[in-house]
Amino acid sequence: MNKRILCLLLALACALSLTSCHRSETGTPAAPTLPPAQAGYAAPTGDESLIHSASVPLYLPSLDGQRLLTDYVTLPLNHGQHNAKAIVQALMTRGATQQTQALGNGVSLSLFGAQSVEISCGVCTVNLAATALQLEQEELYRVCAAITATLCEIEDVQYVNFLVADQAIGMDITGSLPLGSQTIHPGEELTVLWEQMTARRAPLGENPADTPVSAVATLYFPLADGSGIAAETRNLTFAGQSPDQLASGLVAALSGGAQYLSGASAMPDLSALMSAPPQTTELDDGGRMLSVYFHAGLENTLRQAQVDMPCFISALTYTLTSFIPSVSSVRMYIGGTPLTSLYSAAHGNLIFQNGLLLRQQFAPYLMDQVTLCFSSGNRLKEVLRALPYQQAHSPRMLLAELMAGPTQQELDAGYEPVLPEELTADDVLGISLEGDTLLVNLSARCAEMIRTQATSWEQIACYGMVNTLGEAIGATRVRFFFNGEMLEELGGTLYWAGEFLVNPSLIDKPLG
Judged by DSSP in three states, 269 sits in coil
Contacts of 113 (CB under 8 A, 6+ apart): 127, 166, 360
Higher pLDDT, 457 or 309: 309
Q: What percent of the chain stands above pLDDT 90?
A: 73
pLDDT greater than 60 at residue 33:
no
Average pLDDT over residues 425-451: 92
pLDDT of residue 503: 86
* pTM confidence score: 0.89
Alpha helices in 170-232 (DSSP H): 190-198
Reported as a single tens digit per residue, the pLDDT across 488-503 is: 988 888 899 989 999 8
Report residue 14's pLDDT band, with 50, 70 and 90 as the boundaries.
very low
Q: Is the pLDDT of residue 253 over 90?
A: yes
Confirm if 328 and 349 have CB atoms less than 8 A apart. no
pLDDT tens for each residue of 444-494: 999 998 888 766 678 889 999 999 998 888 889 999 999 999 999 888 888
pLDDT of residue 346: 87
pLDDT above 70: residue 403: yes
CA separation for the pair 103, 85 (Å, rounded): 16
Higher pLDDT among residues 389 and 21, named by residue: 389
Tell me, what amino acid is at 382?
E
* Count, residues in the chain: 512
Of 24-28, 102-106, 441-445, give the lowest mean pLDDT range: 24-28
The pLDDT confidence band at residue 32, using thresholds 50, 70 and 90, is very low
pLDDT tens sequence across 159-195:
999 999 999 999 998 889 999 999 987 788 999 999 9
Q: Are strands 437-442 and 428-434 parallel, antiparallel or unpaired?
A: antiparallel
- Distance CA(285)–CA(327), nearest Å, equals 11
Q: What are phi and psi of 167, to 5 degrees?
A: -125, 140
- Can you tell me the mean pLDDT for 320-340? 97
Return the axis-axis angle of helices 309-323 and 243-255, rounded to nearest 10°. 140
pLDDT at 1: 45
For residue 511, pLDDT beyond 70: no
Mean pLDDT confidence for 93-108: 93
Tell me which of 17-21, 106-110, 246-250, 424-428 is least confident: 17-21
Higher pLDDT, 81 or 62: 62
Measured distance between the N- and C-terminal CA atoms of the chain, rounded to whole angstroms: 36
pLDDT of residue 9: 39
In which band, very low, low, confident or very high, does the pLDDT at 426 lie, cut at 50, 70 and 90? Answer: very high
Inform me whether the pLDDT recorded for 40 exceeds 80. no
Query: 222 vs 85, 302, 395, 399, CA distance in Å?
Result: 25, 11, 26, 25
Decide: 109 and 83 in contact? Cβ < 8 Å. no
Is the confidence at residue 391, as pLDDT, over 80?
Answer: yes
Backbone angles phi, psi at 4, to 5 degrees: -60, -45
The answer on pLDDT for 209 being more than 50 is yes
Residue 112 in this model has a pLDDT that exceeds 70: yes
pLDDT at 30 over 80: no
- Across 318-325, average pLDDT: 98
- Report residue 36's pLDDT band, with 50, 70 and 90 as the boundaries: low
